[in-house]
Structure 1
Amino acid sequence: MPQIRQVISTLTNDGKEIMGPDVLVYHYPDNSILNGSLLTVESNHFAVLKSRGAILNVYETGQYVIQTPDRPIIGAFQQAFFGGQSPWQYEVIYINRAKLILEVSGVAYSKEMAEMGYHVSCYVHVDTKEDALKLVQHMPMSGHYVSMKEVNWYAGPVIEQSINKIVQLTELERVNERMPEILELVKEHLQEFLSVYGLTLNDVKALVYPRDERMKELIALRAFGLSEIDAVRYYTAMIMAQKGVISAPNMAIGEPFFIGNPQVATDRITQVESKH
């Protein structure tokens, strides 16, 4: 009776794909892979075959019969004791070649040492068989998976350094003006770093913003053309109005509040508006 050939793939017994959008590398967990096993590689994967720590081959899409390169046991002896199968052990490592998302968040500091939050999203992929080989050689594995979360840990310091290199020399209000420079620097440094691991950087999107909510409001008011002192007054007036303080309009225009004669403030507001 012919022996059933072992099938190696990234599908579970019920047909579900193991390598989702958050998995970069998957190590096939069976350590009893033998000569003659059938290796299946899906259209969006690479597969790397190793034996006793040595890399034997890198496969693209298709089905392949695993064969030992030097056949240490041959002929009738192999047939009698191993049913035609060599006891040479193999490892199969699958590489996700689809575009995956790398996301990093952190804190930078402006020229005034104001805290600026940032969130960077990047699309990366493994482009060629040579790149898949680099990834297996240089990316350490703990367990049977390398997730994108682990890749984020490697990329985080590179992104942080790139953003701080510009943000630390820029006034808080001018950080957004320099976003094109920030993006270019992140792309340059990140691609240089990721290429060691065989990863190609496709696109980078970044958002840098004040972490303090009050600073966000003040910058928004400054965007309307208000001076610094006017922006502070209008911000304070909005807070007062939310709390129902009737002198909020006086705060906005910088005029004193007269108890019992609110018309003074109303007239002053009308005068200010008429000038504009």
Structure 2
Amino acid sequence: MPQIRQVISTLSNDGKEIMGPDVLVYHYPDNSILNGSLLTVESNHFAVLKSRGAILNVYETGQYVIQTPDRPIIGAFQQAFFGGQSPWQYEVIYINRAKLILEVSGVAYSKEMAEMGYHVSCYVHVDSKEDALKLVQHMPMSGHYVSMKEVNWYAGPVIEQSINKIVQLTELERVNERMPEILELVKEHLQEFLSVYGLTLNDVKALVYPRDERMKELIALRAFGLSEIDAVRYYTAMIMAQKGVISAPNMAIGEPFFIGNPQVAADRITQVESKH
């Protein structure tokens, strides 16, 4: 009876694809691969065949018959020296070549040492067989997967350093004006870093914002052309109005509140508005 060939693929027993959008590398969990096994490589994958640490081949899309050098080791020779087991151990490592998302969040500090939050999203992919080799050779693997979350851990310090290099020299209100510079610096440093692992950077999107909600409100008011003191007054007036404090309009225009004589207060507010 002809032997049934072992099929190696990224499909689970129920036919579901194992390598989702959050999986960069998948190590096929069975290293008892024999001569004649069928290796299936999907259109958005690379596959790397290893034997005892040595890389034997890199496969692109298609189905391949694995040719291993374990055939000559047969009979008494194999039984005597290796206890009936082949000395060759084979591994198949699948590389996801689709565009995957790398996301990093953190904290930077402005020139005034105000806390600025940032969120960076990048699209990366493995472009060629040579890049797949770099990834297998340089990216540590614990278990059978390398997730994009693990790649984020590597990229995080590079992104943090790039953003802080500009933000720490910039006033809080001017950080958004320098976003093009920030993006270019992140791209430059990140691509240089990722190329060691065979990853190509496609695009970078970033958001930098004040972490303090009050600072967000004040900057929004300043965007309307208000001076710093006017922005503080209007912000305070909004808080007072939310709490039902009747002197909130007086705070907004910077005038005193007259208790017990509403007509005087109204005349005073009218005078101030006429000046503007």
Distance 1:83 1:65, change over 3 A: farther
Task: Please list every run of 5 or more consecutive structure 2 residues that lacks an aligned counterpart in the other structure.
Answer: none
1:266 aligns with 2:242: no
Deviates more, 1:28-37 or 1:143-152: 28-37
Contact persistence 1:36–1:66 (CA under 8 A): yes
Superposed CA deviations along residues 52-96 of structure 1, whole A, max 9, x for unmatched, are 110000000000000025854379999999999976321000000
CA distance in 2, matches of 1:51, 1:97: 23
Superposed CA deviations along residues 155-207 of structure 1, whole A, max 9, x for unmatched, are 00000000000000000000000000000000000000000000000000000
Deviates more, 1:81-90 or 1:119-128: 81-90
Distance 1:258 1:2, change over 3 A: same
Contact persistence 2:35–2:71 (CA under 8 A): no
Q: CA deviation at 1:270?
A: 3.7
CA distance in 1, matches of 2:124, 2:42: 19
TM-score normalised by L of structure 1: 0.93
Superposed CA deviations along residues 114-159 of structure 1, whole A, max 9, x for unmatched, are 0000000000000000000000000000000000000000000000
CA distance in 1, matches of 2:168, 2:119: 17
Q: CA deviation at 1:37?
A: 0.4
Distance 1:83 1:66, change over 3 A: farther
Instruction: Please state whether the residue corresponding to 1:226 is helix, strand or coil.
Output: coil
Distance 1:268 1:132, change over 3 A: farther
Contact persistence 1:5–1:38 (CA under 8 A): yes
Distance 1:263 1:135, change over 3 A: farther
Contact persistence 2:70–2:86 (CA under 8 A): no
- Which residue number corresponds to residue 216 of structure 1? 216
Q: CA deviation at 1:271?
A: 4.0
CA distance in 1, matches of 2:46, 2:109: 41
CA distance in 1, matches of 2:266, 2:4: 91
Q: CA deviation at 1:31?
A: 1.7
Contact persistence 1:35–1:88 (CA under 8 A): no
Distance 1:104 1:132, change over 3 A: same
Q: CA deviation at 1:49?
A: 0.3
Instruction: Please state whether the residue corresponding to 2:25 is helix, strand or coil.
Output: strand
CA distance in 1, matches of 2:96, 2:265: 67
Superposition RMSD in Å: 2.7
- Which residue number corresponds to residue 84 of structure 2? 84
Instruction: Please state whether the residue corresponding to 1:123 is helix, strand or coil.
Output: strand
Distance 1:134 1:143, change over 3 A: same
Contact persistence 2:35–2:70 (CA under 8 A): no
CA distance in 1, matches of 2:264, 2:123: 60
TM-score normalised by L of structure 2: 0.93
1:2 aligns with 2:2: yes
Q: CA deviation at 1:263?
A: 3.6
CA distance in 2, matches of 1:37, 1:76: 24
Contact persistence 2:113–2:168 (CA under 8 A): yes
Q: Identity percentage over the alignment?
A: 99
Superposed CA deviations along residues 20-54 of structure 1, whole A, max 9, x for unmatched, are 00000000001211111000000000000001110
Q: CA deviation at 1:268?
A: 3.8
CA distance in 2, matches of 1:97, 1:263: 75
Contact persistence 2:187–2:204 (CA under 8 A): yes
Distance 1:81 1:14, change over 3 A: farther
Task: Please list every run of 5 or more consecutive structure 1 residues that lacks an aligned counterpart in the other structure.
Answer: none
